[in-house]
C-alpha cells in the first residue's frame, strides 16, 4: 500500500486544512459554548465537495475516494470535532443510497445531500437498543400506500435539524435480523416530533430523539428489499465508522499539538516543562498512538478505494483512533495543568469531545468484539 499522498490528495488535504483554519477555528469555542449548529458550514463544505468525495460524478460527487474523505475528516476534526460529524451525516446516507438505492432514488436524493442542502441523519439507536441493533422496537407496518412507522429513535446526530433520515425498523419482527428494513424519510412531514438531548460535549453537533407516531412512509422510500435492513445498517456503519476514526485521529492530533506547544513554552523549576521526562513519556505515547491510528485509518481507506472488504480494518482503525483521541485529550489536559482545565483553552473541549469517539458508531467494546472474534476464528469480519 502506498501512503504517499498524490498531488490531488495533497491538494484536498490542504484545502480542508485551510478551510478549517479560516472558517471553523475562529468561532470553534463560541459554537461549542453556545451549542450552535452551523448550517452554513454544511453548505460550504458541500460547495467544496467534501460531502461528495466518495460519490461518483454522475450523482454530483467528485469520486476522489475514501482516502480523501479520511484526510478531510482529520483536518476538520482537528479544528472542531463536532463539525466533522456534519460530514458523516451527509456522506453516510448518500453512500447507503449509492450502495442500495434504485437509480431513481440515487438521482433524486444523493445530490441534495452532498450539496448540503438536505440535512441528513441516520437513525438506528433506540432507548432499549444501542449496541444490540436487532433489539430495536420500531415497526414499519405495511399499509395500502406504503408503511406506517411507529417508534422512538434516540441519540441521533442531527435529529433536531435534519430534513431527511435513514431509518431502520422492523417490517417483520418474527424474522429477527432478517425482518428489519431501511427507509429514507422526509422529516418535514407530519407524524414525527423531535427532542434535543443534552450531552457532555460535541455541542455544535445537535443530538436528539425522533418520535414517530403513525408516520406514513411511501413504498418508494424503502431502500433495498424488505428484510435487507440489517445488512444495509452494517454496511452503513462500516462507512461512517471510517470517517469517525479519521475524525478521532484529527482530535488526537489537536491534543498533541496543544500539549507540545505548551510544553515548549511553560517553565517550572527553571526549565521548560517539556524537559521533564515524565512529560516526555506522555508526549511520546501520544505521538505513537496518533501515528499508529492514522496509518490504520489510511489502510482501511485504501482498501475501500480498492473496493476490497475492510470491515476488520475499519474496526481496528476505529478502536485505535478512539482510544488515541481519548488518551491524547486526557494527557494534554494533564500537561496543561490548570490551563487544561480552563474553559479559556480548547483542551477541555478536546477531552469532552474525545469521549464520544469511544461510544459512537459501535463502542470501543464492540470494535474489540469484532476484532477478537475474527482473530479467534469465531466470526470472520470480512465476510462479504
Ligand X SMILES: Cc1cc2nc3c(=O)[nH]c(=O)nc-3n(C[C@H](O)[C@H](O)[C@H](O)COP(=O)(O)OP(=O)(O)OC[C@H]3O[C@@H](n4cnc5c(N)ncnc54)[C@H](O)[C@@H]3O)c2cc1C
Among 59, 109, 155, 215, binds ligand X (CB under 6 A): 155
Cβ proximity to ligand X, 207 vs 315, nearer residue: 207
Span 190-219, contacts to ligand X by CB under 6 A: 199, 202, 207
- To the query of whether residue 361 is one of the catalytic residues in this protein, the response is yes
Cβ proximity to ligand X, 19 vs 327, nearer residue: 327
Dig out the grid coordinates for 48 from the structure: 467544496
Query: How near is the Cβ of 261 to ligand X at its closest, in Å?
Result: 28
Site membership for ligand X, residue 122 (CB under 6 A): yes
Site membership for ligand X, residue 163 (CB under 6 A): no
Among 102, 265, 365, 382, binds ligand X (CB under 6 A): 365
Query: How near is the Cβ of 221 to ligand X at its closest, in Å?
Result: 18
Among 17, 130, 150, 228, binds ligand X (CB under 6 A): 130
Cβ proximity to ligand X, 208 vs 224, nearer residue: 208
Cβ proximity to ligand X, 68 vs 366, nearer residue: 366
Among 131, 265, 343, 382, binds ligand X (CB under 6 A): 131
Query: How near is the Cβ of 91 to ligand X at its closest, in Å?
Result: 12
Among 29, 148, 295, 369, binds ligand X (CB under 6 A): 369
Site membership for ligand X, residue 138 (CB under 6 A): no
3-state per-residue secondary structure call for the chain: CCCCCCHHHHHHHHHHHHHHHHHHHHHHHHHHHCCCCCHHHHHHHHHCCCCCCCCCHHHCCCCCCHHHHHHHHHHHHHHCHHHHHHHHHHHHHHHHHHHHCCHHHHHHHHHHHHHCCCCCCEECCECCECCCHHHCCCEEEEECCEEEEEEEEEEEECCCCCCEEEEEEECCHHHHHHHEEEEEEECCCCCEEEEECCCCCCCCCCEEEEEEEEEEEEHHHEECCCCCHHHHHHHHHHHHHHHHHHHHHHHHHHHHHHHHHHHCCCEECCEEHHHCHHHHHHHHHHHHHHHHHHHHHHHHHHHHHCCCCCHHHHHHHHHHHHHHHHHHHHHHHHHHCHHHHCCCCCHHHHHHHHHHHCCCCCCHHHHHHHHHHHHCCCCCCCCC
Among 171, 238, 356, 367, binds ligand X (CB under 6 A): 356
**By Cβ distance, which residue is nearest to ligand X?**
130
Cβ proximity to ligand X, 69 vs 156, nearer residue: 156
Cβ proximity to ligand X, 65 vs 92, nearer residue: 92
Q: Which amino acids are annotated catalytic?
A: 361
Q: Which residues bind ligand X (CB under 6 A)?
A: 121-125, 130-131, 155-157, 199, 202, 207, 356, 359-360, 363, 365-366, 369
Amino acid at each position: 500500500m502506498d501512503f504517499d499522498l498524490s498531488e490531488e490528495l495533497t491538494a484536498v488535504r490542504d484545502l480542508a486544512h485551510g478551510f478549517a483554519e479560516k472558517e471553523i477555528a475562529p468561532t470553534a469555542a463560541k459554537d461549542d459554548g453556545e451549542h450552535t449548529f452551523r448550517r452554513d458550514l454544511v453548505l460550504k463544505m458541500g460547495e467544496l465537495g467534501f460531502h461528495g468525495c466518495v460519490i461518483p460524478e454522475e450523482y454530483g460527487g467528485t469520486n476522489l475516494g475514501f482516502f480523501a474523505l479520511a484526510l478531510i475528516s482529520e483536518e476538520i476534526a482537528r479544528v472542531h470535532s463536532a463539525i466533522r460529524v456534519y460530514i458523516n451525516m451527509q456522506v453516510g446516507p448518500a453512500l447507503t443510497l449509492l450502495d442500495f438505492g434504485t437509480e431513481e432514488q440515487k438521482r433524486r436524493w444523493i445530490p441534495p445531500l452532498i450539496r448540503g442542502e438536505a440535512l441528513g441523519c441516520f437513525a438506528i439507536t433506540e432507548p432499549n437498543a444501542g449496541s444490540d441493533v436487532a433489539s430495536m422496537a420500531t415497526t414499519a407496518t405495511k399499509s395500502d400506500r406504503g408503511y406506517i412507522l411507529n417508534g422512538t429513535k434516540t441519540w441521533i446526530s442531527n435529529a433536531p435539524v435534519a430534513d431527511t433520515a435513514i431509518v431502520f425498523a422492523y417490517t417483520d419482527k418474527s424474522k429477527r435480523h432478517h425482518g428489519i428494513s431501511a427507509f429514507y424519510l422526509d422529516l418535514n412531514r407530519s407524524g414525527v416530533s423531535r427532542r434535543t438531548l443534552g450531552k457532555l460535549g460535541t455541542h455544535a453537533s445537535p443530538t436528539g430523539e425522533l418520535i414517530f407516531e403513525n408516520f406514513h412512509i411511501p413504498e418508494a422510500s424503502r431502500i433495498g428489499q424488505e428484510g435487507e435492513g440489517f445488512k444495509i445498517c452494517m454496511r452503513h456503519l462500516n462507512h461512517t465508522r471510517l470517517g469517525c476514526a479519521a475524525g478521532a485521529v484529527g482530535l488526537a492530533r489537536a491534543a498533541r499539538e496543544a500539549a507540545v506547544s505548551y510544553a515548549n513554552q511553560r517553565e517550572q523549576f527553571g526549565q521548560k516543562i517539556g524537559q521533564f521526562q515524565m512529560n516526555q513519556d506522555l508526549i511520546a505515547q501520544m505521538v505513537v498512538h496518533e501515528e499508529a491510528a492514522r496509518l490504520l485509518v489510511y489502510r482501511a481507506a485504501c482498501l475501500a478505494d480498492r473496493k476490497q472488504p475492510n470491515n476488520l480494518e475499519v474496526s481496528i482503525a476505529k478502536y485505535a483512533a478512539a482510544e488515541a483521541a481519548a488518551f491524547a485529550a486526557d494527557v494534554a489536559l494533564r500537561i496543561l495543568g490548570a490551563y487544561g482545565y480552563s474553559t479559556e483553552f480548547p483542551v477541555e473541549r478536546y477531552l469532552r469531545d474525545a469521549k464520544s469517539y469511544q461510544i459512537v458508531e459501535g463502542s470501543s467494546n464492540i470494535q474489540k468484539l469484532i476484532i477478537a472474534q475474527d482473530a479467534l476464528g469465531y466470526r470472520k469480519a470480512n465476510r462479504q
